[in-house]
Structure 1
Amino acid sequence: MMQFLDRAMARLRAWDSSIAAAALLGMVLIPFIEVLLRPIQGSGIENAPVVVQHLGLLFSLAGAVYAERTGHLTSLGSLWKEFHSPLSKKIARAFVFLSSSLLCGVLALGSHDLVMSEIESGQVIAYGVPTWVFLCALPLGFCTLAIQLGQKWHDHWLIQWAGMLAVWFMVVPVNAWLIDATISSTLASFFLLCLLILGGPVFLVLAGLSWILFSSENIPLASLSLSHYQITVNPSLPALPLFTLAGLIFANTQAAQRLSQLFTAFFGSGQRGSIFAVACLCSCFTALTGGSGVTILALGGLMLPLLLKVGYPESKSIGLITSASSLGVLLAPSVPLIMYAIMARVPINTMFVAGLVPAVLMIVCLVVFGGFLRGTGRSIVSQRIFNNFPSQTFEAIPLKQALWNAKWELLAPLVAVGSLISGLATPTEGAAMTVVYALVTQWGVHRELSSQTFIHCLVQSAQIIGGILLIMGMALGLTNYLIDVGVPDMASEWVQGITQNKYVFLLALNIFLFFAGALMEIYAAIIVLVPLLLPLAMSYGIDPIHFGIIFLANLEMGFLCPPAGMNIYFASAVFKKSLKEVMQSVLPALLAIFIGTVIISWFPIWVMALPDLVFPKI
């Protein structure tokens, strides 16, 4: 019987990536068709935005299952593997995966309750399809995750299932214990801390913490799953996977080489020109692809030989590429910009415009205050370094030719941002148009994208965004609880009791966010901290748009600081350097970015001037 279940699960798991890819493809086609039909007949697909939002729900759960299957769910590492004693390692392994399976079982139970209540309400999405049909993805997804995680606690299938069944039967008794016992919250919190440290998925730790708090107030389990449902059907949220997909399409073609030729031709091939070219290119490519790690992977092998060829020191070259790749967070169509707009409930197009001038300022600060222009004498470079990147070269060409070659890539941000600013499309429709534009130019015009690569991009988007959406959903549940009990108001009163000075507060905010960025993954930081800190900032008269740029500028530094700073890990792998060497190379950049952040914080005109010009207030 158990072997039959294992075979059934193996077949089911083979479909997770296909379901996610199909849902994402639907999220591209439906808004695009809607945009085409609107001028012709005034309306297109029935209730199209809601259909896309619920496809996003299906995409998020299938993507999360696929991310877990491929080992890409966000965690602080796998500390349980580091135990030297075989017995200790077995105990830690069992604790991590059985605890994770238990928490997924809690989410599945709460999701079941949510589906049952939705069946009673009888709401319909479109064309007679009831909402509960899509909601079934929640219990099915969490059940699949519970099984996948539970199977990892032991190698023998019979013992695997015995352990899983044992912990699943504990869900209801443990929930009752949390409600009744006064000491249980402390013990449960210690349990979650151990799970986080040993390598449990971050989203389950957040879910467990929400479970503890909800149980203490006797709030139903369904509230946990409801938080995930609310975030995944947010009207603007489908823009996240769609912009990510567009970025991956560009990253899997020769777009990086064409843009490299353009920036090099524009700034010149000397040392100083190459420095500015690398800084601007890495920042823009991060905004285009949606990930600074993608930029290091795609451009690192191109940019390092370019800098070394003009005699720039190797350590400074690595520091420049690694740090500049984090600066694209402020440029449209950056995914963190969209996420902040969703959480702060501000217009996405306004955030896109607000980030332009600060992004340029941060690039200038990086190059000037980071010391990258000092000591730019020629450096003798070993041929061995060039041999590490044998195929990662490009020929310098005249500016006019480079501009012509990269014309389609240069127009991509205009499609993304222009459609929003002009009011022709919603954020989701603008993102879908950007995906179609990327397909037409890279597949149809350049013929560099195969159908196999496109499918890979769909699946990779699911792998990246699926895990992120789980964190977002669980973090939203925790945040909602903290807001309900008045934590932001208490924090505001406490901070204002310490200082009434706006500039002292901004300096303290920058320092706090610097450490938060180093300790928290950027998406979790946005979901958890924005609802808590935004009311506090507004009490000092800080505009939500201004606060958003301050917030994201600080989190840019987090990309360069362990343990959450992924740029240093990517750079270490790409450039074949130790983490210590990479961290030393980015230290001057951290100071430079902090200076830029303080300037943005204390002088709001850098942020607000352009939005006020483009979107004048009546």
Structure 2
Amino acid sequence: MSASLLTIIGILLLLLFLGSPVIFAIGVAGIAYFFVEPNMTSMLSIVVHKFFTGMDVFIWLSIPLFVIAGEIMSATNMTERLLGFSRLLVGRLRGGLAYVNVVGSMMFGGVSGSAMADIAALGPVEIEMMRKDGYDRDFAAALTVSSAIQGPIIPPSIPLIMFSSLTNTSVAGLFLAGAVPGILLGGGLMLVVFIMARLRNFPRNPIKDLSVAIVFRIVLDAFWSLFMPVIIIGGIVSGIFTATEAAAVAVAYALLVGVFAYRNLTLKELWAILDRSARVTTSIYLIVGFATIISWIMANERLPDTLEAFIMAQDVAPWVLLLAINIFFLINGLWISDSVQLLLFAPPFTPILAAMGVDPIHFGVIMTMNVMIGLLTPPYGMALYLGSAVSKVPLGQIIRASLPMLFASLIVLMLVTYIPAISLTLPRLFGFAN
């Protein structure tokens, strides 16, 4: 590993550790390489070229489209409809609203594909409902934040789309592979709720005066939202359209539902949705562009080949390497965001694991689960900060209350890591994995 590469890695880590914006840290580190590496200043034009080509990838178009679709469904009061449906399913159990929180996030994640969108859209409603029903606000906030990480694992998933583009792995296979692990994460949180409901005597919260007519109305209200992921996943898996085309279909479907089914989407709100989506997408695209420069530098320095040769020389068993990589990603999650981890580490690590017999689809799910769990780990954990903002609960209280849920998520991560069938059975059934 050259001194120049060590220098830019040091600059990147230092800037991130000091809390500088991720875009700034990656951009400065990438450009610095052309000044510290001898005879590279004349090749600064590569920065512009790689920055543009990194973003100029067809599948990246699906990200702003999925963001827009999620924003539209959120703006049309889909959250309340999904929570009502969740309450119909599990509200009668002890700790009913806590189960509703988990199930609601599971279903909303199938629409937005974003943990942050889940917390922002469902968080205020869920936390206030639980507070009024007698739950501690810190527990409600911690559960909301913890359940939100299912969203980017249950398809459609923006992180899985990123992994697919970075490693040339089938996005349909990744979507299918993420379904069961995402549901398992929800199951782990429900187990935590089950235990705490007995210990703390949580209340039940069934729907009163339930009748066939009320059940029909609740199901009908939620139907249009629940049918959206069916269209997306069904279209991709069947080969009717690509992930990017599926995202466009999702936007069209969300518009039709908002205008004709729910009848509460206005032009003013649509403009606000486009504005918010543009802001979110811009930050993602800038990170992608600058991270592409870093990836080119690593390839130019032959870092992936060096890592692969080093690991192969150590004769490390695949299960040991998977454990080490899990620990590596989880530690990075303390201070590096989910998208940055994917952009920096998916390209070099995927071929190494593939050479050791680990299916790239399986590794994609493992990595995505790791970076999502990283959203719950301080001090960087973005989900924790957003949860504190929407709940008005101090960050320290949310962290303490979320520890049992973090532990349950880590157990599920280990199960998915060492039992490949959990993530690979569905892709194998549809011919996307061996």
TM over 0.5: yes
Q: Does 1:365 align with 2:188?
A: yes
Q: CA deviation at 1:272?
A: 4.2
Note closer, same or farther for the CA distance 1:194–1:420 as it changes in structure 2 (3 Å cut): closer
1:213 and 1:347, CA in 2 relative to 1: closer, same or farther beyond 3 A?
same
Query: Structure 1's 218 and 371: CA in aligned 2 closer, same or farther, altered over 3 A?
Result: farther
From 329, 336, 346, the equivalent of 1:513 is 329
Q: Give the structure 2 partner of residue 443 of structure 1.
A: 259
Which residue matches 1:290?
113
Change (3 A) 1:356 1:201: same
SS in 1 for 2:60: coil
The answer to whether the 8 Å contact 1:367/1:373 transfers is: no
How far, CA to CA, are the matches of 1:346 and 1:186 in structure 2?
29
Match of 1:460 in 2: 276
Would you say the 8 A contact 1:550–1:601 is kept in 2?
Answer: yes
TM-superposed deviation, 1:580: 0.4
The Cα of 1:189 is off from its aligned counterpart by: 7.7
Deviations 1:377-436 (A, max 9, x none): 4369xxxxxxxxxxxxx9896433211111111111122222212222222211111101
What are the Cα deviations for residues 537-585 of structure 1, in whole angstroms up to 9, with x where unaligned? 1232100000000001111211111233111111112211111001111
- State whether structure 2 residue 26 is matched by structure 1 residue 206: yes
- State how 1:78-477 maps to structure 2 within 5 Å: 200-215=20-35, 216=37, 218-219=39-40, 220-308=43-131, 310-368=133-191, 373=196, 375-378=198-201, 398-477=214-293
Say if 1:349 and 1:420, in contact at 8 Å, map to a contact too. yes
8 Å CA contact 2:153–2:182 kept in 1: the answer is yes
Q: Tell me, yes or no, if the aligned pair for 2:5 and 2:298 is still in contact at 8 Å.
A: no
Q: How much has 1:294 moved relative to structure 2?
A: 2.3
Matched AA of 1:556: M
What are the equivalent positions in structure 2 for 1:497-536 lying under 5 Å apart? 497-498=313-314, 500-536=316-352
| Shift, 1:277, TM fit | 2.5
Contact 2:5–2:301 (8 Å) recurs in 1? no
1:357 and 1:607 in contact (8 A); partners too: yes
1:567 aligned residue:
383
Q: Give the deviation of 1:373 after TM superposition.
A: 4.3
Paired residue type of 2:346: V
What are the within-5 Å matches in structure 2 for residues 466-615 of structure 1?
466-498=282-314, 500-615=316-431
Cα deviation, residue 227, structure 1: 1.6
Query: Which secondary structure state, in structure 2, belongs to the residue aligned with residue 236 of structure 1?
Result: helix
**1:396/1:287 CA distance change after superposition, 3 Å:** farther
Change (3 A) 1:183 1:309: closer
- Work out whether residues 250 and 442 of structure 1, in 8 Å CA contact, stay in contact via their aligned partners in 2: yes
CA–CA distance in structure 2, aligned partners of residues 544 and 617 of structure 1: 9
**What is the DSSP-based 3-state SS (H/G/I as helix, E as strand, rest coil) of the residue aligned with 1:519?**
coil
Aligned residue identity for 1:533: F
Contact map agreement 2:154 2:179 (CA 8 A) in 1: yes
Deviation at 1:534, TM superposition (A): 1.0
Cα RMSD, aligned residues only? 2.7
In the aligned structure 1, how far is the partner of 2:3 from the partner of 2:147? 48
Q: What are the residue-to-residue correspondences of 1:16-31 with 2, within 5 Å?
A: none
Residue by residue over 1:193-252, the C-alpha shift from the partner in whole angstroms, topping out at 9 and shown as x without a partner, is 776566644223222222232341534112112122112211211001000110011111
Q: Distance in 1 between matches of 2:246 and 2:4?
A: 48
Q: TM-score, normalised by structure 1?
A: 0.64
User: What amino acid is the match of 2:93?
Assistant: G
The amino acid across from 1:571 in the alignment is G
Q: Which amino acid aligns with 1:241?
A: P
Residue aligned with 2:152, SS:
helix
Q: Which moved more, 1:283-292 or 1:575-584?
A: 283-292
Gaps of 5+ in 2: none
The 10-residue stretch of structure 1 (552-561 or 280-289) with the greater mean CA deviation from structure 2: 280-289
Note the alpha carbon deviations across 1:572-603, whole angstroms, 9 max, x for none.
Answer: 12211111001111111111111100000000
Moved more, 273-282 or 466-475: 273-282
Contact 1:550 1:600 in 2 (8 A): yes
Distance in structure 2 (CA, Å) of the matches to 1:449 and 1:609? 40
Is the partner of 1:271 in helix, strand or coil? coil
Cα distance, 1:214–1:556 mapped onto 2, change above 3 Å: same
Residues 503 and 200 (structure 1), Cα distance of their counterparts in 2 relative to 1, 3 Å cut: closer
Distance in 1 (CA, whole Å) between partners of 2:209 and 2:254 is: 25
Distance of aligned partners of 1:418 and 1:442 in 2 relative to their CA distance in 1, 3 Å threshold: same
The percentage of counterpart residues that share the same residue type is 27
Residues 1:605 and 1:221: Cα distance change in structure 2 (over 3 Å)? same
Question: Which segment is superposed worse, 480-489 or 313-322?
Answer: 313-322
Cα deviation 1:42-77 (Å, max 9, x = unaligned)? xxxxxxxxxxxxxxxxxxxxxxxxxxxxxxxxxxxx
SS in 2 for 1:409: helix
Match of 2:333, SS?
Answer: helix
Aligned mates of 1:569, 1:585 — CA distance in 2? 14
Separation in structure 2 between the aligned mates of residue 432 and residue 509 of structure 1, nearest angstrom: 35
Q: Find the aligned partners of 1:493 and 1:184 in 2 and give their Cα distance.
A: 20
The question of whether the paired residues in 2 share the 8 Å contact of 1:518 and 1:557 is answered with no
Higher relative contact order (CA 8 A, sep 6+): 2
2:403 maps to amino acid? L
Q: Count matched residues.
A: 424
Task: Tell me the distance in 2 between the aligned counterparts of 1:569 and 1:252.
Answer: 23
Offset of residue 494 of structure 1 = 2.7
Residues 449 and 218 of structure 1: is their aligned pair in 2 closer, same or farther, counting only changes over 3 Å? farther
Contact preservation (8 Å) 2:116, 2:383: yes
Task: Using the TM superposition, give the Cα deviation of residue 303 of structure 1 relative to its aligned residue in structure 2, in angstroms.
Answer: 1.8
SS of the counterpart of 1:327? Answer: coil
Contact residue 137 and residue 393 of structure 2 kept, 8 A: no
Distance 1:422 1:223, change over 3 A: same
Whichever of the two has the greater Rg, that structure is 1
Paired residues of 1:311 and 1:378 also in contact (CA < 8 A): no
Contact 2:95 2:193 in 1 (8 A): no
Compute the TM-score of the two structures, normalised by the length of structure 2. 0.90
Q: Deviation of residue 261 (structure 1)?
A: 0.3
